[in-house]
Structure 1
């Protein structure tokens, strides 16, 4: 059985007033790191629900992270093949 490579993803949140920020970091098997950010804003009349702000900001950071990973992978494909590859979601 082949050994699978593991990725380490970290998410860190900060709260400032009505704004929640998420910083995401993934360490890939090739030693590279990709960083991304996501934000959520709470309307002043909404009740404080820190978990919801974290979920929204975290999801946005992870979506940015995924987009950057796709770009990196396609750049590597393009370099290896000499052709332009097309991500499915674009």
Structure 2
């Protein structure tokens, strides 16, 4: 038997001056919502490339989200 499940992650960005913030939201089939944030700061000598800040902030938010998901899985195993 094959089971296919899909999860969707929403990612929003806020960019102010040299700072980029990312907010990630994962909604699980059991109704749980996990949220995490990441940030990036562009050095003043670096060229303005918003995409790079978004990628860095997103990676940090997803890394934090992964940690939360691992903690949830550990808690679920104990139940």
TM-score by length of 2: 0.93
How big is the alpha-carbon RMSD for the aligned residues of Structure 1 and Structure 2?
A: 1.0
1: distance between equivalents of 2:6 and 2:47? 38
Give 1:4 deviation, angstroms. 1.9
Hey, what's the Cα distance between the residues in 1 that align with 2:2 and 2:25? Answer: 26
> What residue in structure 1 maps to residue 41 of structure 2?
41
- The structure number with the bigger radius of gyration is 1
Matches within 5 A, 1:1-90: 1-79=1-79
1:5 deviation in Å? Answer: 2.2
TM-score calculated relative to the size of structure 1: 0.83
Which consecutive unaligned segments of at least 5 residues does structure 1 have?
80-90
Listed as ranges, the gaps of 5+ residues in structure 2 are none
- In 2, the alpha carbon distance for the partners of 1:45 and 1:2 equals 52
**Secondary structure of the structure 2 residue equivalent to 1:72:** helix
